[in-house]
Chain A
Amino acid sequence: MLKYVVKRLLWFIPTLFIVTLLGFLLLVYSPGDPLDMLVSPLTSKNSGSNDPEQQKTFWRQQLGLDLPLFYFSVCTAAEPDTLYKIYDKEKLKTYKALLHQSGNSETVNDYFKAIQECKQTYEIRLNIEKQKFPEAYNNHKIQLSTIAMSFNALERTADTTLQKYHLHTLETNASAFSMKPPDIYGPITQSIKKLHTHSTKYKNYIPKIIWYGTNNRYHHWLFGNAQSKGVIRGDFGISYTKKEPVTAIIKDKIIWSLFFSVLSIILAYIISIPIGIRLAQKPESTTSKITQIALFMLYSMPSFFIGVLLLMLFSNPDILSVFPPSGIKPISGYDEDANLFEKFYESLPYMVLPLICYTYSSLAYISRLTQTSIMEQLPLDYIKTAKAKGLSEKEVIWKHALKNSLLPLITVFSAVFPSIIGGSVIIESIFTIPGMGLETVKAIIAKDFPIVIAVITLSSILTMLSYLIADVLYAWADPRIRYK
């Protein structure tokens, strides 16, 4: 048995590898720039500076954004090995588009270099201008900003007509400062020409694999580096919006989610096993038929519909205001000297509606299974023997039949638990329970993906654990089952 559990635990590794890979892909391809979110106008305590550019470089190093993505990359032969160093997504897009046009990375590099050189020469000239004619300089603020914008735009466009247009605006605006454009912008036009004359387009269709080794973002993210401990030791990085470690944020959220899911499963079993037994005893009676139909309909009800209906009926001042509409504890918080039981008692009215929401859908499932499995047992000989022995109906069913029909009920546990974890996203956001689900929704809306990944990884670990527990319980319930 122990061997089996260890083997199963070892199988967690590939699954977790895939899950983390998926999470990492989410992190990389998520919209929005994490640097923009991390930069704050105030002096940040982490980077110790209030200059946005300095903060950006700090965070880029901290998050390892200047490293290659993965151990290797599959790309075209035209791509240079150090393409990952371009961080700006728009610039990278332009680079790739230009590369597709020419297939020669040197000419594309030349293009970007030419733009940088022009910018520098232009700035030098402008400084001279500033000292010579300060008044004229001050009068042409608009032209100045247009020129800066044109330089930026040139770095972000691969379209020839657009390039021409930006060069033209540069020319017209620079003429306000008595500068002769051609000798300043000459390198750019030359490099654009070179893109087409020195093209090696065939390189775009040759595959290439680049090996980066372990100094990459994924490796650092998974196994940790000097800054973080890595996902494998439970460090999911820093939340973009809150600038705190994700682990600390998740820690007190997971308790509520686990609390509700475990409690609701226990409740579901407590309620539905008696229902199932009653259904099995008198399967043809009208009451059990009505119960069956009602349960089947409940099973088809979406949880968010039930949740909103419950809120509408029971925490609406117009109809019935029995339960509080949101939250999990009084707004003022618990009393300081309250013990766990008192806290629970205080939170009870807040928990009623969410618990109904969590529980109702598994009711039909579990009671149906109880019914069928007990009905399978009833005609068997050992039940007849027990009855002949003089045991009451109750004893026969609860002590003998139920024990033997436990197996399918345990399987349900591994089917119900994952759906409850996934469903918590919706129920928690309806009732504003401060759990993992609500945190995920908030994080996705704020594009704070480290939290999302932490939640996904943790939920899949919980799910796998629930499968394992179900399997172990299986062996406990039926000694005939032996795992090798």
Chain B
Amino acid sequence: MKLKHTYSTVKVALAKNRKLKRAVKVFFLFIVIALLAPLLANDKPLVCKYKNTWLFPAFSFKNTIDLGNNTILNYNMGKDWKLLPADVMFFPPCAYSPNTIDAENAPRKSPFGEQVITYENGITVAIPFKFKHWLGTTQNGNDVLSCIVHGTRIAIGIGFFSMLIASLIGITLGACAGYFTNDGLKIGYIQLLFLITGIFLTYFYCFVIRGDKLAHAFNNGGIWLILRLLFLCYIAIKTIGGLVWIGGYIDKKLNTHQKLNFPVDVLVSRAIEILNSIPALLLIIALSAIAKPSYSLLIIIIGFLSWTNIARLTRAEYLKAKNLDYVNACKAIGMKNRRIMIRHILPNVLPILLVQIVFGMGGAVLAEASLSFIGIGVPVNAASWGTLLNEGRDHFSSWWLVVFPGICIFLLILLYNTIGNQLSKLK
């Protein structure tokens, strides 16, 4: 696929539109924060010289390190790193991890209030500049800034991956519906038979046999769930495709000229209509309450429910494109449908679809934040912006629990909306 075309279109757009350029820059800042979160907010120091050894705890995956002389340093000591009598100690800008509990500043310390730290000799002093909770603490004593920095990962990750799934489904279905419409795809009787058996067999071999293992995977979550599901769907589609091909071959050999119209457009449009008439947020809430909450499950649910807008737009664009001259030219030189759809139409359509995908990302972020705000379907103790807001709604006096995460959600959604808006103006 020629991504180059899409890339160059977006590049030209960026050069032309100042607003878009600015928004994309801020968005990249968010991405950088998300990627570097463990280096920006971590209770382990970045560099540390202890007993004449240089250590890089924040970059290390080990739990303990042997320094010789019977001294073993535990890397997971949390807040105690700050009390370690080291020669050189260089902390990240926010010296707390989201799960570090600072019991001394526990019940919701204000950013401007008095924060304290007790050293090993028992003296309690006002917290030094570098260990300050810049945005205050939560009920348990977690650092709000650290939670916000790590929450960026969740917000951006959910938006990105769920839209990846949604655009895979939406573009495929929409393209088929728009390109073939109701009479473009002819299918022989034996082919139809093979299609139905194919669907049945792949359903059986992919999802029924060892269905309990799949259910187990759904309960455990993790990146493997997404990969597994995508792999199973890929295998299923490939198998069905193969069987349909064999059916078509047999049809050809038997010279059966009667062919049925396969109504792709009707099927896809009905599916979109049905999915649109169920309130998405309600369905996401209900579905995510079934299995054990995890972010990968949430990504899958949001992805599988929000492809309708992308599919509708893709369908419309393919409907327009299929009568254009370049497509007719492709057909005239005997190109296969799939090649025309993927290599020739899609690059022209993708910049327009990008608008919808960007809006969808905003929607996914909003859905995740809403879910964690009401506390359903998200893992407990996760550092998410919505979770912080949820805590803030019980304690109105702690304004920092409401204002900062709220502004973050607002900013990210505003960014997505601005980028989408400006991209849509370029047509």
Name A's B-contacting residues (CB within 8 A): 11, 14-15, 18-19, 22, 26, 29-31, 74-76, 93, 96-97, 100, 204-205, 207, 296-297, 299-302, 304-305, 308-309, 311-312, 316, 318, 418, 421-423, 425-426, 429-430, 440-441, 444-445, 447, 449, 452-453, 455-456, 459-460, 463-464, 467
B interface residues, tally (CB under 8 Å): 50
Known: A422-B279, A426-B374, A460-B279. 6 other contacts (CB 8 A): A14-B274, A19-B278, A296-B418, A302-B406, A440-B286, A444-B285
Between A and B, 22 residue pairs with Cβ closer than 8 Å are A11-B273, A14-B270, A15-B273, A18-B274, A76-B209, A205-B209, A297-B414, A301-B413, A302-B369, A302-B370, A302-B409, A304-B370, A308-B389, A309-B402, A311-B393, A312-B399, A422-B279, A426-B373, A445-B376, A456-B283, A463-B276, A463-B279
A467 to B274, CA, bound (A): 12
B289 at the interface (CB under 8 A from A): yes
User: Residues of B contacting A204 with CB < 8 Å?
Assistant: 209
- Is B290 touching A26 in the complex (CB atoms < 8 A)? yes
| Residue in chain B with minimal CB distance to A449 | B286
B103 contacts which chain A residues (CB < 8 A)?
none
The residue that A316 contacts in the complex, of B291, B373, B396, with Cβ under 8 A, is: B396
Taking the closest CB of chain A, its distance from the CB of B427, in whole angstroms, is: 15
A308-B212 in contact (CB<8A): no
Q: Which residues of A contact B208 (CB under 8 A)?
A: 74-76, 207
Which B residue sits closest to A26, measured CB to CB?
B286
* A422/B397 in contact, CB under 8 A: no
User: A130 CA to B404 CA in the complex, in Å?
Assistant: 70
Shortest Cβ gap from B72 to chain A (Å): 36
Contact present for B278 and A463 (CB under 8 Å): yes
The SS class assigned to the B binding surface is: helix
Alpha-carbon distance A305/B393, docked complex (angstroms): 9
Q: Does residue B410 face the partner (Cβ distance < 8 Å to A)?
A: yes
B410 (CB) vs chain A CBs: closest residue: A301
Evaluate whether A459 and B200 lie within 8 angstroms (CB atoms) in the complex, with A430-B393, A441-B376 already known: no
Cβ of B119 < 8 Å from any Cβ of A? no
Chain A interface, >50% SS class: helix
Is the pair B281, A425 in contact by a Cβ cutoff of 8 Å?
yes
Do B281 and A423 have beta carbons less than 8 Å apart? Answer: yes
* B212-A305 in contact (CB<8A): no
Verify if B157 is at the interface (C-beta below 8 Å from A): no
Enumerate chain A residues within 8 angstroms of B273, measured Cβ to Cβ: 11, 15
CA distance A311 to B281 in the complex (A): 23
Docked-complex contact A444 and B410, CB < 8 angstroms: no
Tell me if A444 and B277 are in contact (CB < 8 A). Answer: no
CB-based nearest A residue for B280: A422
Contact A311 B287, CB 8 Å, known A100-B210, A304-B370, A304-B389: no
Q: Which residues of B contact A205 (CB under 8 A)?
A: 205, 209
B417 and A299 contact, CB distance less than 8 A: yes
Asked whether A456 lies within 8 Å of B417 as measured between CB atoms, the reply is: no
Report the Cα distance A304→B373, complex, angstroms. 8
Contact (A422, B281) CB under 8 Å given A75-B208, A318-B396: yes
A318 nearest in chain B by CB position: B397
Which residues of chain B from 356 to 410 have any CB-CB distance to chain A below 8 Å in the complex? Answer: 362, 366, 369-370, 373-374, 376, 386, 389, 392-393, 396-397, 399, 402-403, 406, 409-410
Question: Which of B212, B289, B413 has the most chain A CB within a 10 Å cutoff?
Answer: B289
Bound-state CA distance A14–B354 (Å) is: 32
B209 touches A418 (CB 8 A): no
Is B281 touching A31 in the complex (CB atoms < 8 A)?
no
Q: Does B283 contact A441, Cβ atoms closer than 8 Å?
A: no
Tell me the complex Cα distance, A447–B285, Å.
12
Most buried by B among A308, A311, A423: A308
Report chain B residues within 8 Å CB of A14: 270, 274
Give the residue name and chain of the B residue nearest to A25 (CB): B290
> Are A15 and B280 neighbours in the complex by a CB distance under 8 Å?
no
Known contacts A75-B208, A304-B389, A463-B278; is A444 also within 8 Å of B406 by CB? no
